[in-house]
Amino acid sequence: MRSDPFSSRFELAARLVREAGQLALGHFRSSGLQVGRKGLQDFVTPVDHAVEALLVAGIRTAFPDDAILGEEGGTHAGRTDDDAIWVIDPIDGTINYARGLPLWCISVALVQAGEIRFGLIFNPVADELYTARLGLGAHCNGRPIRVSSARLPEDARIGLGYSRRRPVGLHAGAVRALLDARCEYARIGSGALSLALVADGRLDGYWEPHINSWDVLAGLCLIREAGGWSAPFLHGEALVEGNPVLACTPALRDFLVTTFSGITAA
């Protein structure tokens, strides 16, 4: 096995996401959870903040000079020479979490020199920890994972995300285009978890016309290491502004690239 210069950060992340998962699970389905609104279809609870605080404190204790970008504002300007930055989504699928649906996760990635060095996605309800490190494969609870062998649209199920930051008709156009090709779709309301499911062969692809870096970087690392394909995401101002995301099995790439580049608002 090749040595990994980010091993100690990866080990820390694996410990922290499990701790953070226990914290979030402890409040899951509790009565009286306050749900705030940050924007259209963008919600936040005190648990999102508490989980992010736990993660940021753990990173800052071990690596005080590392830069951190957290969805809920736990951002910290780093001072390391290598440009490493932790990218954190404390709860992805907050609306599911707030409504008691067991489809949410914690997502942590480390980016350095334009590469996602590692990514972790923890689903506390299922007790599934997805991990991937650049060049070292992808795993779920230590079990190696691979993307599915789906080749044909009619055998595939593609995850879709719905973004209020793009014309709403695009979502309807995407559903229409997939159904026209006899392809199934699923919208589970957590982009990060959807990407983990693609890496684990439970979905065959994921598309969203605009998504933030904290939603996708860990999942894109998983998919790459699980033998999948994704369109370039980390270009332009993606870290802070987001970008479209498309990731899938290699065999479905041409079909999905053509499908999603051709959609118009239905």
Contacts to ligand IPD by CB under 6 A: 42, 89, 92-94, 161-163, 189-191, 208, 211-212, 215
What is each CA distance from 158 to 144, 204, 225, in whole angstroms?
22, 6, 19
143 contact partners, CB below 8 Å, separation of at least 6: none
Of the pair 92, 204, the CB lying nearest Ca ion is at 92
Instruction: Answer whether 124's CB lies under 8 Å from 22's CB.
Output: yes
Binding mask 201-240 for Ca ion (x = CB under 5 A): --------------x-------------------------
Q: Closer CB to ligand IPD, residue 204 or residue 208?
A: 208
Burial environment of residue 8 by CB neighbours within 10 A (0 to 12, 13 to 18, 19 or more): exposed
End-to-end CA distance of the chain: 49
Q: Which residues within the stretch 62-81 sit at the binding site for Ca ion (CB under 5 A)?
A: 71
- Based on the shown chain and the rule CB under 5 A, indicate whether residue 52 belongs to the binding site for Ca ion: no
Site residues for Ca ion, window 129-168 (CB under 5 A)?
Answer: none
Q: Applying CB under 5 A, which of residues 52, 92, 200, 208 lies at the interface with Ca ion? A: 92
Strand order in the sheet with 143-144: 67-70, 85-92, 105-112, 115-123, 128-133, 138-140, 143-144
Choose among Ca ion, ligand IPD, none what residue 221 binds, the Cβ cut-off being 5 to 8 Å by kind.
none
For 185, the 3-state DSSP assignment is: strand
Whole-angstrom Cα distance, residue 55 to residue 91?
A: 11
Distance CA 10, CA 4 (A): 9
Sole window of 11-19, 39-47, 54-62, 170-178 interacting with Ca ion (rule: CB under 5 A): 39-47
**105 token code pair:** 């996760």
Query: CB under 5 A: which stretch of 91-99, 109-117, 200-208, 251-259 binds Ca ion?
Result: 91-99
Q: Which does 189 bind (CB under 5 to 8 A by kind): ligand IPD, Ca ion, none?
A: ligand IPD
**Nearer to ligand IPD (CB atom), residue 189 or residue 205:** 189
- CB 4 to Ca ion: min, Å: 26
CB of 215 to Ca ion, least distance (A): 4
* Local structure of 2: helix, strand or coil: coil
Among residues 8, 11, 42, 115, the one that binds Ca ion under rule CB under 5 A: 42
| 3-state SS, residue 180 | helix
Tokens 């719905």 identify what position?
Answer: 162
Cβ nearer to ligand IPD, comparing 134 with 218: 218
Q: Nearest approach, Cβ of 111 to Ca ion (angstroms)?
A: 16
Residues that bind Ca ion (CB under 5 A): 42, 71, 89, 91-92, 215
